[in-house]
Each structure stands twice: as structure tokens, then as C-alpha cells.
Amino acid sequence: MTARTRADLATATRIVVKVGSSSISGESSWRIPVLVEALAGAHARGAEVILVSSGAIATGIPFLRLDARPTDLATQQAAAAVGQNILVYRYQESLRPYDIVAGQVLLTTGDLENPTSRSNARRAMERLLGLRILPIVNENDTVATQEIRFGDNDRLGALVAQLIEADALVLLSDIESLYTKPPSDPTAEPIDVVAPDADLSGLEFGSTVVNSVGTGGAATKVSAARLAAASGIGVLVTSADLVEQALSGAEIGTWFEPALS
């Protein structure tokens, strides 16, 4: 049943959780077990949980002995090939104590635009969920080109939520909620709830590039949240450090109300 309010996350049957590179790679890799503990809690109560995780390129960078995120596509693809393997290994090791098995799903925009491959992707994920596997979805950076890249995994999270008809989408960020202006602005105020027809044109969500490893930001989260909400999926935007509270239905973050069907 679609989550109409934050509180409904505590009992939602199918939840997509998206986490960005800056939250789980590099010096932040310690957060993976914390994230997994929260996901395992939802899984234990019977929920079907799908994790959309960025971080392949960022995770691979140090193993290629690079000082910064590469700018050319070929090296990004090489970093993704190495990093995706390590990233999924870290998730699986964290899931092991809970007796949960992860299933890797790599997608491109073409996979979700082509009816045949879209159907195949949906069938595969439905079967994984039926087997109580926890799908870990990422963009297929190893084969993606600049023309077919999702651009950010916030949008990928929204598209996956649409694909599998999720009850809710949780977009994890570096801050507790969205603000009316960049959080560094002393006049910025937290946004509690966004209605489906809300006019956000007067708000300032800042740059879409927030750090050296991630390509998301407040603007991309707003865009993705509205995309999912328009499809009747409730969306919560909050901090990765608050994921357990988020999945427990706590009154935190910014809630995008789902459009009524």
C-alpha cells in the first residue's frame, strides 16, 4: 500500500532506498554497516527492500591509485568496474550477520526505455524480491556513455521505484531535510512537507555538484522526488545518518506527498 505519510514507512511493504557516493565511499565507508542494519530491520519485519547505491566510481578511485575523480569516460568506466565489485562485497559482508543475500542489478537508461529490457529488469527484480534477496541497484557505469547516463542516482532511484511500483522512496542525503535556501544561508528554513501541486519555483536548492565524488545535490533530489510523487509514490528526503528513524516512520526530513491516483 502506498505510503501517504512518513509514519506509513514503518509498515510499507516495498521500499526503495537510495544512498549517494559521499555517504558510503572513502572515509564514509564506515556508514555501510549502519545503513545495512537499518535495511535489515525493515527486511526482518517482512518488507521488500531495494537499495539504489551510488559509489562504484568513488570506491574504485583509490584502487586505481588516482588522486581525484577522473574526468574522462574511459577511466570513469575503469574505476566503476573495480569499485562496483568492492562496493557489493562490502555490502554483502555487512549483510552476512543478518543472513541476507544481496543481488546486484546494473541498469542504463536504455534498459528502462526499451519495453523488452524494461520488462526483463522488472521480472528479475520481482523474482529477487520473491526469493527474499536484497537487490542493490546502480547505474551500469562500465558500459554507459555520456549520452545514456542517468546523470545522478536520485533519478535512478525514482525510476526504479516506478518500475517495481514501490510504496515509498527514501532519498538519503548529507543533511536532515531540504531547505528553502542553501543550508549555509542563515535565513534558510527546513521544508517539512511538499504537496504534489506545490510551487517550488521561489526556492533555492543550490548547485547540483556537492562534492568531489558525487554528482547529486538538493536540486536533483527535488526533481527525483517530484517524479516519483507524481506517480503516486511517497518520498522522504533525509540524512543517511537517520536512515533507521526514517524506516521507522519518524517525523524527520522532507516528505513529498504522493499524487492521488
Give the annotated binding-site residues for substrate: 54, 141, 153
Q: Which residues pair with 221 in a beta bridge?
A: none
Question: Can you count the helices (H) and strands (E) in the chain?
Answer: 9, 8
Q: How far apart are CA 53 and CA 151, in angstroms?
A: 14
Lateral strand order in the sheet of 134-139 = 102-107, 134-139, 48-53, 14-19, 168-173, 234-239, 254-256, 193-194
Q: What is the CA radius of gyration of the chain?
A: 17
Q: How far apart are CA 119 and CA 34, in angstroms?
A: 33
Q: Which residues belong to the annotated binding site for ATP?
A: 18, 173-174
> Letter for the amino acid at 63?
F
Q: Which residues belong to the annotated binding site?
A: 18, 54, 141, 153, 173-174
φ, ψ dihedrals at 115, nearest 5°: -55, -40
Q: Which residues pair with 254 in a beta bridge?
A: 237
Write out the DSSP string of 147-173. TT--SSHHHHHHHHHHHTT-SEEEEEE
